[in-house]
Every structure is written in structure tokens, then in C-alpha cells.
Amino acid sequence: MLQPATTMDRLLLVGDDPASTDAIATHLSRHGFLVVGQVRTAEAARTAARYTDPDVVLVDAAVRDGWRAVVAALDGVLAQAHIAVLASYWSSDERRAASASGIGGVILKAVEGDSLAGRLREIAAQP
């Protein structure tokens, strides 16, 4: 089992399904993350990131504004390498777009909870 981090990584969640973001927030809190915000739009993500200074942002790929809009909104506010996109399916076109955007990674929703927490810690620790 993954051990909790010695310091809490600050996490901002972006998704427009409150039940899903609440469940992810609860789960990741149990794995040592400090959830500093849960927002639904690209603009709200930009504002929240400015005020909460997250170590990592987890964006649901299905967010209404689109994950690309969220990544663009965070440009200049947070290092792109500290953004992860959570997706249930990822086409080769989306993979290429994600790679070109410079985000820290794409995580498939089928990932086990401990693996999700570990992957987010890796992304948060990037320079």
C-alpha cells in the first residue's frame, strides 16, 4: 500500500459532476492530499489556481469547457507539467494533443486509488 506523503500536496479538482469530484476529493484526502478547491469551468480553475497555489491540478477530461480550455486557462498561472487529465478513454489524437500541451500526464479512470495518488504525487513533484 502507498504510504501518505510526509507533506500534503495541494490539489485543485476541475470537473462539472459534483458527485464525481466529491468522491475523488474524499479518496485523495485519505491519501494525504489537501484538496484546496473544486471548480467546474476553465475560468474558475484559473481564478482558484491563483488564490490556492495548488501543487497539482486534476482535470476531468469530460469537463464541459473541455480539458484543453482548462489547460489554456491555467497557462501562466501554473506550470503545465503540474496538470493531470483524468479520462475514461483517450484516443490517439487526444494523446498527441496532451503531449503537445506539456501537461504532466493523462490518467485513465480505471486506475486503482493508490496508483492515482502516487501518479499525482509524481506530477506535483515535477520542476
25-50 pLDDT tens trace: 999 999 999 999 999 999 999 999 99
Choosing among 3.20.20.70, 3.10.129.10, 3.40.50.2300, 3.30.930.10, the CATH entry for 9-124 is 3.40.50.2300
Q: Where are the domains of the chain?
A: 9-124
Q: What integer pLDDT is reported at residue 43 of this predicted model?
A: 97
Whole-number mean pLDDT of the chain?
A: 88
Tell me the pLDDT band of 81, cut-offs 50, 70 and 90: very high
Here the cell at position 15 is: 470537473
CB under 8 Å to 3, separation ≥6 — which residues?
Answer: none
Average pLDDT over residues 17-32: 93
Angle at 10 between CA 102 and CA 79, to 5 degrees: 20
pTM over 0.75: yes
**Residue 94, pLDDT above cutoff 90:** no
Here the cell at position 78 is: 501554473
**Residue 69, pLDDT above cutoff 60:** yes
Element spanning 43, H or E: helix 42-52
Q: What integer pLDDT is reported at residue 111 of this predicted model?
A: 62
Tell me the pLDDT band of 67, cut-offs 50, 70 and 90: very high
